[in-house]
C-alpha cells in the first residue's frame, strides 16, 4: 500500500499510462499491467525506485485505473472491520474495535467522487450533487453509506462496514464471550418455536451480525422473506428464500420502492417468516401488523439505547405511519413482539448481549417487561471487561409457543 509521499508519483505514472493506451478501445488487465510496468521502468531511469516500491506503485496505479484506488488494499485487509473516509486526506479504519488514522490520501476530490459513483453503480444506484446521499453495498455485500458535497462540507464521505464471507456462528459468539451458552440455547429454542424477536442496540453494536446468527436457527423447510435497505443478511440455512431490497427514487424522483412497499408485497408471497433488516420509520406499523397476523417467528432490528427506549422509539415510528391512540399502538406492539435482545459495546470496545427481555403485555397502559437475562460485570483483566449474561427471572411467562414446539 502506497503512502502519501507516493501520491504524486502514482498520478504521474497513471498519466503516462493514459498517454500510451487507446482509451477508445477495451484493454484487458494483463495488457494494462504490462503498460504500467513499462512506465514505472521508464520513470525509474530518472529516479531511484526499489523493487518493493515498484510493486507497490504498480498495484496503486492499477487500483486507481481499474478498481477502487487506495480503497482496494484497505478492503483486502481482513483485520479491518470498518472504513471511514472523510474527504481526500482523512481516512480512518476500525481494527480490533479501535479506530486509527491511515497515512493515505486520495489524489483529488474528483477522484474520490468518481469512486463513490462507481460504488453506487455496482447496485444500480446513482449518487451525485442532485442525489448526494445513498446507502448501497459492494459486490461482496459490505454496507456502504455515501454523502457527497454540497451536503458533505469537507468533501465526499464514504463509510464502509466490511462484510465477511464466513459469517459468525453462535459458537463463535459464545467463544468470544458475546453471549453465554445458556442464553444462546434459549434463543435457539425461541427462534425455532417461532417467537417474534426484535434486536435493539446502538450503531455499531452488531445488530445485523446477530440477526444473521439467529437466522441460522430457522428450520430449513420454511419459506423466508428478507427485506432490507441494502442487502446484508446471509441466510445460509434456508432454501426457500426470497430476498427483497428497497430502491431509491430515480433522478426524476420517481419509481422508489420503500421498505413499507416491500413488507406489503411480501404478505402476498406466502411467507412463513418475514425478516426486516432494520426499521426506521413508518414501515414499523406494517412490520408490527405482519408479526401479529399469522407470521410468527419474524425478526427485525432497530436503534435503541435499551429495551424500553426501543419500544418508545417503535411507538413514535408507528405514529409516523398512522394517526392512532398511543394506547392502541402499545397494544399492537406488545401483541406483536415477544422477545427483545439488546446489544451494546462495552468500554473495551467488545460487543456483548446486554439484556434479553420478554414483553409481558400491557400493565396500566404501559408495556410490561420480564427481564430474562442481564449482563453482569465481574471485573476487568488485561483491558478486557469480564462478565456475562446472568439469568435474573424464573423464565418465560408466555410458554405457549415453546410448548407447541415440544420444548
If asked whether residues 346 and 240 sit together in one domain, one would say yes
Of 165, 180, 201, the residue that ends a domain is 165
Residues 160 and 205 in one domain: no
Quote the domain boundaries for residue 126.
68-165
Both 28 and 94 in one domain: the answer is no
**Total of domains in the chain:** 3
For 32, the grid coordinates are 494494462
Domain end position, chosen among 10, 45, 66: 66
Backbone angles phi, psi at 164, to 5 degrees: -110, 130
The pLDDT, as a whole number, for residue 235 is 85
pLDDT score, position 7: 74
Name the domain boundary from 149, 165, 181.
165
* Unique residue bearing C-alpha cell 406483536: 336
Residues 6 or more apart whose Cβ sits within 8 Å of residue 157: 85, 86, 87, 145, 146, 147, 148
Q: 251 and 328 share a domain?
A: yes
Both 284 and 242 in a single domain?
yes
pLDDT for 24 equals 63
Residues 160 and 189 placed together within one structural domain of the fold: no
How many angstroms separate the CA atoms of 183 and 174, rounded?
10
- The CATH number of the domain holding residue 385 is 3.40.50.300
Residue 145, preceding peptide bond in cis (omega within 30° of 0):
no
2 and 32 both lie in a single domain:
yes
- Say yes or no: 201 and 270 in one domain: yes
The model's pLDDT over 164-186, given as tens digits with 9 standing for 90+, comes to 767 789 999 999 999 999 999 99
CATH number (domain holding residue 130): 3.30.450.370
Contact 231, 215 (CB under 8 A): no
* Alpha-carbon span 122 to 273, nearest angstrom: 29
* Domain shared by 214 and 361, yes or no: yes
Question: Does residue 346 share a domain with residue 199?
Answer: yes
Assess whether 369 and 230 both reside in one domain: yes
Is 127 found in the same domain as 53? no
The segments of the chain whose pLDDT lies below 70 read 1-5, 23-26, 66-67, 165, 250-252
Amino acid at each position: 500500500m502506497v503512502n502519501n509521499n507516493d501520491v504524486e508519483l502514482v498520478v504521474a505514472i497513471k498519466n503516462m499510462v493514459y498517454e500510451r493506451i487507446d482509451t477508445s478501445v477495451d484493454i484487458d488487465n494483463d495488457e494494462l499491467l504490462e503498460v504500467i510496468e513499462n512506465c514505472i521502468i521508464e520513470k525509474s531511469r530518472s529516479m531511484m525506485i526499489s523493487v518493493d516500491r515498484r510493486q507497490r506503485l504498480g498495484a496503486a496505479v492499477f487500483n486507481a485505473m481499474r478498481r477502487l484506488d487506495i480503497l482496494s488494499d484497505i478492503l483486502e485487509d481482513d483485520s479491518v472491520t470498518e472504513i471511514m473516509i472523510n474527504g481526500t486526506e482523512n481516512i480512518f479504519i476500525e481494527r480490533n474495535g479501535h479506530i486509527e488514522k491511515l497515512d493515505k490520501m486520495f489524489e483529488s476530490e474528483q477522484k474520490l467522487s468518481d469512486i463513490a459513483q462507481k460504488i453506487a453503480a455496482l447496485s444500480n444506484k446513482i449518487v451525485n450533487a442532485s442525489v448526494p446521499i445513498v446507502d448501497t453495498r459492494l459486490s461482496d455485500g459490505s454496507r456502504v453509506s455515501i454523502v457527497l458535497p454540497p451536503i458533505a462540507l469537507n468533501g465526499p464521505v464514504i463509510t464502509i462496514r466490511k462484510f465477511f464471507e464466513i459469517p459468525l456462528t453462535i459458537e463463535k459468539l459464545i467463544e468470544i464471550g458475546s453471549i453465554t451458552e445458556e442464553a444462546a440455547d434459549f434463543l435457539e429454542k425461541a427462534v425455532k418455536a417461532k417467537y417474534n424477536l426484535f434486536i435493539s442496540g446502538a450503531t455499531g453494536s452488531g445488530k445485523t451480525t446477530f440477526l444473521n446468527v439467529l437466522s441460522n436457527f430457522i428450520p430449513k423447510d420454511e419459506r423466508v422473506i428478507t427485506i432490507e435497505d441494502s442487502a446484508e443478511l446471509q441466510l445460509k440455512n434456508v432454501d426457500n428464500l426470497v430476498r427483497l431490497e428497497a430502491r431509491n427514487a430515480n433522478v426524476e424522483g420517481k419509481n422508489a420502492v420503500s421498505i413499507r412497499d416491500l413488507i406489503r408485497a411480501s404478505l402476498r408471497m406466502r411467507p412463513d417468516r418475514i425478516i426486516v433488516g432494520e426499521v426506521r420509520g413508518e414501515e414499523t406499523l406494517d412490520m408490527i401488523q405482519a408479526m401479529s397476523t399469522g407470521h410468527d417467528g419474524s425478526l427485525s432490528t432497530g436503534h435503541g439505547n435499551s429495551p424500553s427506549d426501543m419500544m418508545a422509539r417503535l411507538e413514535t415510528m408507528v405514529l409516523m405511519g398512522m394517526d392512532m391512540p398511543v394506547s392502541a399502538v402499545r397494544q399492537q406492539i406488545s401483541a406483536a413482539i415477544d422477545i427483545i435482545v439488546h446489544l451494546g459495546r462495552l468500554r473495551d470496545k467488545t460487543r456483548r448481549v446486554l439484556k434479553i427481555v420478554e414483553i409481558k403485555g400491557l400493565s396500566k397502559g404501559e408495556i410490561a417487561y420480564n427481564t430474562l437475562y442481564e449482563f453482569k460485570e465481574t471485573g476487568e483483566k488485561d483491558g478486557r471487561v469480564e462478565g456475562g449474561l446472568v439469568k435474573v427471572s424464573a423464565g418465560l411467562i408466555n410458554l405457549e409457543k415453546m410448548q407447541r414446539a415440544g420444548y
